Amino acid sequence: MKELILSRRSIRKYTNYKIPRDELVEIIELAQRAPSSRNLQPWRLFVIESDEAKEKLRKSMTLNLLQLETSSHLILVTVDPDKYQWSEKIFTKAYQEGVMPKEVMEKQIQMSKDTKYDPKDPNYINTLFLDAGLFALNFMYAAKIYGYDTCPIAGFNKSTVNDNLGIPKNLIPTLLISIGKADEEGYSSIRLSSDETTKWL
């Protein structure tokens, strides 16, 4: 695990190797083990696989074209502000798979129904973004386990990407992640020391 963390770095140029779809599905499933608030898993993913899809995405990109052009795939991580609508499905599945007692399932579903939320409230949106970030990092490590490299990309036009890709307007785009077989070493990067970032109270 330590080696995995130390070996990840952003890779922006990839060989022309196309990751098989079933392998990418495994990576996504592994990444989806990420924790999320109330386990509501609000990430909704769009995999840019075909050349046609890449051309549609290009309309929302002026930077990061090397990743766009050379990656095997790019994953657009969006979040669903109506995440509570999924609670019945999620908790029923947990019960059916034997990981949640019936009473807990019923309580969780009821709690979700009773939760009043304002999809415009910044605190609410923050939690959605936190969940997306945890998914994204898990995805980048899962990719490494399978021998692939990634680059997280915030540099794209978030106000046009839904229209250009033809995806539902209510989903909020957070991050793109390019993935493929590395065709460069990438750069070493430094980190602040914990002395600089951490206060002990």
Shortest Cβ 66–ligand FMN spacing (Å)? 8
Shortest Cβ 132–ligand FMN spacing (Å)? 10
Site for ligand FMN in 46-65 (CB under 6 A): 64
Contacts with ligand FMN, 120-159, as mask; x by CB under 6 A = -------------------------------xxxxx----
- Residue indicated by tokens 């002395």: 195
Determine contact, residues 135/161, Cβ cutoff 8 Å: no
**Quick one: which of 13, 6, 34, 40 has its CA closest to 178?**
13
HSE-CB for 63 with a 13 A CA cutoff: 8
Query: Is residue 71 at the binding interface for ligand FMN, with CB under 6 A as the rule?
Result: no
Query: Is residue 10 at the binding interface for ligand FMN, with CB under 6 A as the rule?
Result: yes
Query: Is residue 25 at the binding interface for ligand FMN, with CB under 6 A as the rule?
Result: no
Shortest Cβ 8–ligand FMN spacing (Å)? 7
Bridge partners of residue 177, in order along the sequence:
75, 152
Structure tokens, 73: 């795939």
| Binds ligand FMN (CB under 6 A): choice among 16, 159, 189, 198 | 189
- Other CB atoms within a 10 A radius of the CB of residue 128 amount to 22
- Other CB atoms within a 10 A radius of the CB of residue 118 amount to 10
User: Measured from the CB atom, is 70 or 112 closer to ligand FMN?
Assistant: 70
Query: Closest residue (Cβ) to ligand FMN?
Result: 155
Structure tokens, 173: 């785009």
Determine contact, residues 84/112, Cβ cutoff 8 Å: yes
Report the interface residues with ligand FMN, using CB under 6 A. 9-10, 12, 64, 151-155, 175, 186, 189
